[in-house]
Structure 1
Amino acid sequence: MKIVIQRVSQASVTIKGEKVANINGGLLILLGIVNEDTQDDINWLCNKISNLRIFSDENGVMNNSLKDVNGDAIVVSQFTLQASTKKGHRPSYIKAAKPEIAMPLYKTFINQLEKSLNKKVQTGQFGADMKVALINDGPVTIIIDSKNKD
């Protein structure tokens, strides 16, 4: 699993003109899934996300986690994170998991993140054409790949 985390002061997801997710302060998490991903990847990433100290403390130092600041989160599925651009100019998405594999992992990821944060996590809609809007706070943008955890 690969994620892009963006610390945001505001973020939303709109589908067909309807806003389906909206937060003020927290994390926008883009999630890319491959066939080899497992519950271990989910557990590791959710622990990492909920405890990652990327929010400022009273001294302006990034010392607080999403849990510490009681921030919100939006998770958006994004198969394009698994793109390969090694050959030619057209990205290959062959590594991205097919929907029948990715959908259950996506749902499990959301459930696990909610348990880790002890709060509801907002989402986009798996497979939908989404418009994602955000104000990146900092900016702070971090890429994490569960296959590179060692």
Structure 2
Amino acid sequence: MRSYDFSPLWRSTVGFDRLFDLAEMAQRAGEDNYPPYNIERLGDDRYQISLAVAGFAPEDISITAEQNVVTIEGGKPERGERQFLHRGISTRNFKRQFSLADYVQVKHAAFDNGLLIIELVREIPEAMKPRRIAINGAPLDSVQKLEAKAA
């Protein structure tokens, strides 16, 4: 995979730090694909992340929501000496991060049949939503009176 050097852009831009961080993170994303996951759109402002975490219990996983990032970490302590003839279910430690758009928040997390399901909702503050602006002007009666005087 080809890597890009963003340093020339750093010298001539202001306020695009998050965009460059996302681009760098996307380059590294192909390095590890464990655990597998799905991202679904459930509605205009609702999303769901599902991670396949077979072999992990809810107490083995932690979810941390910070500004614009949700981090899922899992670790399972080894339970004594076990002798596997075949080990196909991985229980290795992992850390998976997802970047979130502005105003997207983690609302709920649940375990269901070996899947960790995280529900996300975009809640735009009222001050940021589009609103209709009333046009102030002379009432219609006074406009008609002015037209009559002018004629």
TM-score with structure 1 setting the length: 0.23
Bigger RCO of structures 1 and 2 (CA < 8 A, at least 6 apart): 1
Whose radius of gyration is greater, 1 or 2?
Answer: 2
| Bigger share in strand | 1
TM-score with structure 2 setting the length: 0.23
